[in-house]
Structure 1
């Protein structure tokens, strides 16, 4: 999934010569936390709600309210913005973007194309939407977490069992985190499983994999199996 498919394309920006009050008003009006800063049509910085709160707190300690309001109109965005802007290209994948945000401890980034043009913004909220879409959680159903051998065909064996019970796979995700060598974790979300056959399905799955957990979203049933895995 590419950034271009999930970014916000209607970008709200602020001019570098704008006031701190202008930036605060834009953030509040549009219910956003980040503003790309522009100068003559080019991206020159970024200002966040955190930057504005920090600047307000440092300058407001000894001021009366009318003095503070006056100050907010005089401080320029260019004086408080972050100039070394971390950006991502529109052809980055969602996971690459998540890694950039995590490594730099930021909540979002401007999206800039190969010509240096600002074409969007991508935030943690957008990446949450990607996660919801990838996992299919909005469709409900049942999800199993399993630990399988890391070999060709191991996931197919599990999927085939689910199909024999009439299950339709909504999503299949895998991970190599926190598993013994030679294994991987698999997370399968499915629909159309007859709940009366659920215990039989669990027994069949246990013959091919180590069960970690099961979540039945429709019934709000959650069961842990992880302690059974050696």
Structure 2
């Protein structure tokens, strides 16, 4: 991760102002010079921060009228979207949304993997499941999560489509946090091991629809476990 800059800090500060309601959708931002003075930064820093926010559609410009706040539904910056979704104790919204994204991407990846996997991919998936079992028995949460992620990453690789991995890589930190939260529960770990085995067996048959169905059922179980063990405890 690169070093943070004053521009990064100002972007976060303005985003917090928006999320906390100090700047509302379609509100006009103060002039650039006023922003620089309020945050004790140079006008160049303020200019670059506003440029970064516009690039993510968090702000928009009306010619001759100034810069305004876009409603969150129009934002395109992933970090900002996740931060907005998490704002105000909306962790459930983020977790459910991530499961939905995984379902859309990973079921298709499993279908492709059934047709395109190599013996090396199969061996990597077997090794990941073996690691999950070992870390489960040892009570090693971090090891278990790493093995879980490694299994799914191999499925994505086995799909033979580099764009699939790139899409989910953008959600890496959020997916890790979500997996770690659910995998802290022993029963969910047992379910994950069983469903990973089913996914592997379905991929090895070479039947794309069978693999798609197995991954879909894994996502069903992931959602059910989340609702029962995580959301239920929060409630």
Q: TM-score, normalised by structure 1?
A: 0.27
Q: Which has the larger radius of gyration?
A: 1
More helix by share: 2
Q: TM-score, normalised by structure 2?
A: 0.27
